[in-house]
Structure 1
Amino acid sequence: MRQLSTQDNDFEQQLSALLAFETVNDAELLKTVDDIINRVRQDGDKAVLALTQQFDEHPATSMAELELSQESLAHAFAELDEDVKQALTTAASRVQSFHERQVQESWHYEDELGNRLGQKVTPLDRVGIYVPGGLASYPSSVLMNAIPAKVAGVKEIIMVVPAPAGVLNPLVLAAAYLSKVDRVFTIGGAQAVAALAYGTDTIPAVDKVTGPGNKYVAAAKRAVFGQVGIDMIAGPSEVLVYAEGESGDRADWLAMDLLSQAEHDRIAQAIFVTTSAEQLAEVALEIEKALAELPKADIARDSLQNRGALILVKDRSEGMALINRIAPEHLELSVDEPDELLADVRHAGAIFMGRHTPEAIGDYCAGPNHVLPTSGTARFSSPLGVYDFQKKSSIIYCTESGSKPLAKIADILAQNEDLEAHARSARYRS
C-alpha cells in the first residue's frame, strides 16, 4: 500500500494518478452494452431470456420462470433465523424512519398581485431497482433503494437481481418482502437495465432506474438516461479515514475500517489521512496483520495495492483541504471532537463522526442511505433519498387583474427576444 506525503515534490501528480478512475469510458464495453440494449429493444422477452441464459447460465426456459412470486419472498423471510430476521427488520425500520423525514410536500403562496404560485410534488409512478446478485449479494441494497421509493409514494417497484445458475441469496428475497417490492425478476446486467427502461411484454417499463451494479450495469444506466431517469453512475466503493494521532485512537480500528471497503472489490478505494507519521506507520502495520486472517484478503490486498494510500499531511487545515479535493463517498472523522471539523467538510457522500461510528454501521442500519456519490461526484451529488422518487411541477395561477402587469413585462421581454407570438400571447391578456 503506497505511502504519500503532501510534502513530496510530486504529491499532486501522485494524488491525481490515485484518484483517476473512469467506470464506463471503455469503447469495447460501450459497444457491448449498446448491442445488448438494442437486442432487448428489438426482441424484448426473447432477448432478455437468451441473454440471461448466456451470461448467468440461468436454467429458465421461459420468462415466467424468471419472475418470483410474492409467496416465495414471504417464505424466504419466514425461513430466516430469528436473529437475522430481527436484524433485517430493525435495519428496515431505521431506514424508513430516517427517510420519512425527507418527504417534500407541495406548497404555494399568493403574490402581491393576487396570483397563486407554487410547486406540486408528485411521486413517480413506477421505478426499477437493480440489486447485485451472485458473488456480491446485498440485501441492504434492497432496503436502501425500495424503502425510500415506498416512503415517497411510488405506486409500483420492479426489482431485478441476477441469479447465476439460478441461485439466489434468500436474504435478498427476504429484504424484498420486508420492503414491499411489488415484482421481482431474476435478471441482471445491461439486459435488465434495458428491459426496465424500454419494457417488454413481461417486464413493464419504469420511470427511473436506481441501484448499484458492475461496469455493464453502470454503462447501461448511462446509455438509457433520457429514456428513463437514473440515480447516478456509481463507481467502486470508497472510504477516506481521517485521524490526528490522538490518544484515543486505535490503529487496529482504523486499519479495519479501511479494509472494510477494500474487501468489497479489487478496485475499491481506501485512503487514510493523518497528521501523525507515527500513526501512519502503526496503521500500515495493523493492515498487514489483519490481512493475514481476513477471508477476502486477496481482494482487499489487490484493492489496497491498486488504489489505496496512506497519506501524511502537515496539519488539520491541509487535511481538510485534501478531503474536499478527494470528495470521498464515505468519510470517517476519527477524532476527539469531530464537530469541530464538520463545518470545513464541503464534499463527502456520508460523514461518519467520531471513533464509534464506523462506515460499516452506515452500510446496514444507521438509517441514512448507503447509495452514495463516488469518484469525486460528491462535489455536486447527494445520497439517494426520497427526493429521488418525487418530481415537482410548478403551479402558476394568474387572476385577471394580476395577469395584466406580468403580461406587459412578458410582452416587452418577448419583443426583445424577437419572439412575436410570445409577445402577442402576453399582450392579449394586458
Structure 2
Amino acid sequence: MTTATTTDWRERHAHDLMASYAPPLRLLVRGEGCWVWDDEGTRYLDFLGGIAVNSLGHAHPAVVEAVSTQIATLAHISNYFASPAQLQLAETLKRITGAGDEGRVYFGNSGAEANEAAFKLARRTGRPRILALRNSFHGRTMGALALTGKPALQAPFLPLPGGVEHIDTTVEALEEAMRDDVAALIVEPIKGETGVVPLPDGYLAAARRITERHGALLIVDEIQTGVGRTGAWFAYQLEGVTPDAVTIAKGIAGGVPLGVLVTFGAASGLLQRGDHGSTFGGNPLATAAANAVLDVIEREDLAGNAHRRGEEIRAAVERLRSPLVTEVRGRGLLIGVGTVEGASSAVAQAALANGLIVNAINPTSIRIAPPLIVGDEEVEAFAERFGTALAAS
C-alpha cells in the first residue's frame, strides 16, 4: 500500500478517481470540532462543514463513541432484520418532524436516494404530473435529476423520467400549474445549490393551501436545511406548515451516509411492500450515528445555537462593508453571501489561503454552513479571516 505525499497526491487523484469532480483543493488528514488540518499541518476553520453535513463538527466524542460501540457490536444486517438503533431513530424522526403516530420512515443512504423515494411516493398516487421549481436541486441520480430544475445538469442525460414540470417560484405560477392531476409539488425551503436563496415570504404556506385544495402531496426537501441548521429541527416548522413528506440527509448522522424519507398522514400508506428498497439503508451503524447526533442537538439546543450564531455571522459580514458583497441571505447556519459578478471564486480561494473554508457555489454566491457547535472563538476567527479574504480579492 502506498501513502499519499505532498508531492504526489494530486497526481494520484487525477490518475485513479473519476473526473466527475473538480480537482480537490487540499489533502485533509484530520479534524477536531470546527477545524481541519491538511497533510502539511496547516489548520483551517471549516465553515462549510462537509456541505452542511458535519452537524457536530469533526471527531465529536458522542459520534465517536456511538460508531465505535456499534461497529464492534453489529454494523450491518440487511432489511430482513431490524435493529434497536433503527427502531429508535424512526421513533425520534416521527417525533421531531411532527409526523406523529401515523407517520412512517424509509431509510436510504443519501439525499438523492431520499428524493428518489419521494419521487416513487408521488408516482404511487396514480396521478401523472409532478411539479418542481426552476433552479432547484434535488440530486444527481436519474429520478432526482428529473426533479432538479437546472437544464444544464440534465442535458447530458436526457431523456430523464417523465412527468416532471418546472415552474417559476411564485404563487401565481403554482396556481396556474396546479390541477387535480398533479401528484405532488416538491420544494426546498432554501435553494442551497442556487446560492442559498430562500423561498419568497409566504410561499410555503400558500403551497400547502394550494396542494391541499387539489389533493396533491407537498414534499419538502430538507436535505440541506434540516436537522437544526436553520434554527429549528426543520425549516417548514418555522413557517407553521405540515407537509405530506419530508426528505432528510446531510446533517443527520454526522458524516456517516444516511438519507431518510418521512411521510405524514395518508401519504404513509402509499408505498407498499416491494415498491422500494436499499441494501445499506437504515443499517445499525448509520442509525446509531444518527441517534447520537440528534441526541446532542436536542440536549444542547444546537438549533437555538444555529439561530443565534447565524445572526452573528450575518452581522459580521455586513459590518465588513466590502464593496464585493451585495447581500447576505439565508437562515440559521445556512448562509449565502451575494457578491458582485465573478467575485465569489476569488474570495473563496483567498479565504482558503487564509485558513478558512467556504464555498463559491456560483459566480455571485458564497455558501457558509459551519457545524452547529460553532461558538464565540469560531465566529470571531471567521470574521477576521473572511474580512482578510475580501480585502485580498
TM-score, normalised to structure 2's length? 0.27
Larger radius of gyration: 1
Q: Which fold has the larger relative contact order, with Cα–Cα distance below 8 Å and residues 6 or more apart in sequence?
A: 2
Higher helix share: 1
